[in-house]
Chains A and B, each alone.
Chain A
């Protein structure tokens, strides 16, 4: 079975540009999570969805970040406008059910904003 799929794997963009990261969760998983990993802050949860509905977006850094999940098999994380401090690895993860289930992570998108 395919795991969590993320695209692109690498993204280099200039400050001020819009960036869209994409994620396809594992089929049948009800929860989807977006994380950011940096050396300074480690792994941070940005937002998570349950059955396509955003449940907690308290980790989203600011209004420049937005996430959507239009259906059970697709989610996007958008940064507009991007800034150099957004450079990080962004992971998408999915989980079959609630907190008693492990999350499975995608390979990540390495974002570099120059």
Chain B
């Protein structure tokens, strides 16, 4: 079975600080996909990034960066120079191919509530 652990329930930072959100996953599959989603106070879930298990390159998108390390089964998310608008719940998720192919069942972590204050 798959599992995603986000041990940090809530993080509070002051604007302009850097913050890293941790994600640890468990799966026996060698092919899998990792995702991060953002859920702002308005409630919708916004897709941020997808990474497959064969691509361990780190990725940077503006103030966001992701560090994927298979050796530690982690897919951490860093926000540089945080802003108040970054305040949201962030979810890490994992999907694996079903035995018969197809499908996209996401296993979500419990989320990390990030609060960025002035």
What number of residue pairs across chains A and B have CB atoms under 8 A from each other? 64
Which residues from 65 to 104 on chain A have a C-beta closer than 8 Å to any C-beta of chain B? 89, 91, 93, 95, 98-104
Contacts of A55 in B (CB 8 A): 102-103
CB of A34 within 8 Å of the partner chain: no
Interface class of chain B by DSSP: loop
Contact A56–B105 (Cβ < 8 Å): yes
Give the distance to chain B from A39, nearest Cβ to Cβ, in Å. Answer: 10
The distance from the CB of B64 to the nearest CB of chain A, in whole angstroms, is 15
B106 — which chain A residues lie within 8 A by C-beta? 33, 43, 45, 103
0 or 1 for each of B28-57: is its CB under 8 Å from A? (1 = yes): 000001010100000111110010100000
A64 to B56, CA, bound (A): 43
Within 8 Å by CB of A95, from B37, B46, B104, lies B104
Contact A98 B43 (CB under 8 A): no
Alpha-carbon separation in the docked complex, A13 to B35 (Å): 35
- Cβ contacts under 8 Å, B108 to chain A: 42-43
Residues of chain B at interface, number, CB under 8 A: 24
Closest to A41 in B: B110
Select A43's contact among B33, B46, B47, B91, beta carbons within 8 Å: B91
- Please name the residue on chain B nearest to A108 by beta carbon: B43
Cα–Cα distance between A104 and B102 once the two chains are bound (Å): 17
Identify B103's interface contact among A43, A89, A98, CB under 8 A.
A98
> A98 to chain B: which residues have CB within 8 Å?
97, 101-104
Closest CB of chain A to B89's CB: distance in Å? 10
Q: Is the CB of A50 within 8 A of B102?
A: yes
Residues of A that sit less than 8 Å from B by CB:
31, 33, 42-43, 45, 48, 50, 55-56, 89, 91, 93, 95, 98-108, 110
Those 3 A-B pairs whose CB atoms lie nearest each other, nearest first? A105-B45, A99-B104, A43-B108
Q: List 29 A-B contacts (CB under 8 A).
A: A33-B104, A33-B106, A42-B108, A42-B111, A48-B105, A50-B102, A55-B102, A56-B103, A91-B45, A93-B45, A98-B97, A98-B101, A98-B102, A98-B103, A98-B104, A99-B33, A99-B95, A99-B97, A99-B105, A101-B104, A102-B35, A102-B47, A103-B106, A105-B45, A105-B47, A107-B44, A108-B44, A108-B45, A110-B43
